[in-house]
Amino acid sequence: MNFKTKNAFTLIEIMLVVVIIGILAAMIVPNIAGRGEQARKSTARTDIEANLPSALDLYEMDNGRFPTTEQGLKALIQKPSTTPEATNWSGPYLKKKKMPLDPWGHEYIYSSPGAHNTDDYDLSSYGQDGIESKDDVTNWGIDTSKK
């Protein structure tokens, strides 16, 4: 039997391929690792800067004011039963007819009038840790009064 006529990979060739794959993985994995958290923050920022303010603006156009802190974001889904009454409520103002959650599964924090945006409302997410800290996503400093 002549071994030179067989077409097969040697152990050295296989080990070389495994080493090359390991080197490529070592270069790529660190670049991908932090992207999940970055994507969640971006989603929260989009909700706070565009999606929820659009629904709140529609509510305000119909009712002449934003929902109170007590009524909360739930007023975007079902007509509030507390005062002040939403006489011209024509919602739901959100496509998904359920309470909006941030990307970490927590409810967005809403208050109207806001402590930071005294003319309308404060809207924020406490981020991954779920407590007030430096990773929070907020609407302070954003011009929310586009009237």
Higher pLDDT, 79 or 4: 79
Partners of 110 in the β-ladder: 123
Tokens of 142: 């954003």
What pLDDT, on the 0 to 100 scale, is given for residue 86? 87
Domains in the chain: boundaries = 44-147
- 93 or 2, higher pLDDT: 93
Residue 44 burial class via C-beta count within 10 angstroms: exposed 0-12, middle 13-18, buried 19 and up: buried
Supply the pLDDT for residue 6. 65
Mean pLDDT of the chain: 85
Predicted confidence band at 72 (pLDDT cuts at 50, 70, 90)? very high
Query: What pLDDT is stored for residue 23 in this prediction?
Result: 85
Q: How far is CA 95 from CA 4, 77, 80, 92, in A?
A: 69, 9, 18, 7
pLDDT digits (tens, 9 = 90+) for 9-66: 788 888 888 888 888 888 777 767 667 788 888 999 999 998 899 999 999 999 999 9
**Tokens matching residue 97:** 């007819």
Strand partners, 107: 101
DSSP 47-108: IIIIIHHHHHHHHHHHHSSPPPTTTGGGGGTS---SSSP-TT-----SSS-S--B-TTSPBP
CA–CA dist 100, 108 (Å, integer): 7
What value does the mean pLDDT take over residues 109-132? 90
| pLDDT tops 80 at residue 140 | yes
Q: Which of 137, 143, 146, 135 is nearest to 117 (CA)?
A: 143
Does residue 125 carry a pLDDT above 90? Answer: yes
**What CATH number matches the domain at 44-147, 3.40.190.10, 3.30.700.10, 3.50.50.60, 3.40.630.30?**
3.30.700.10
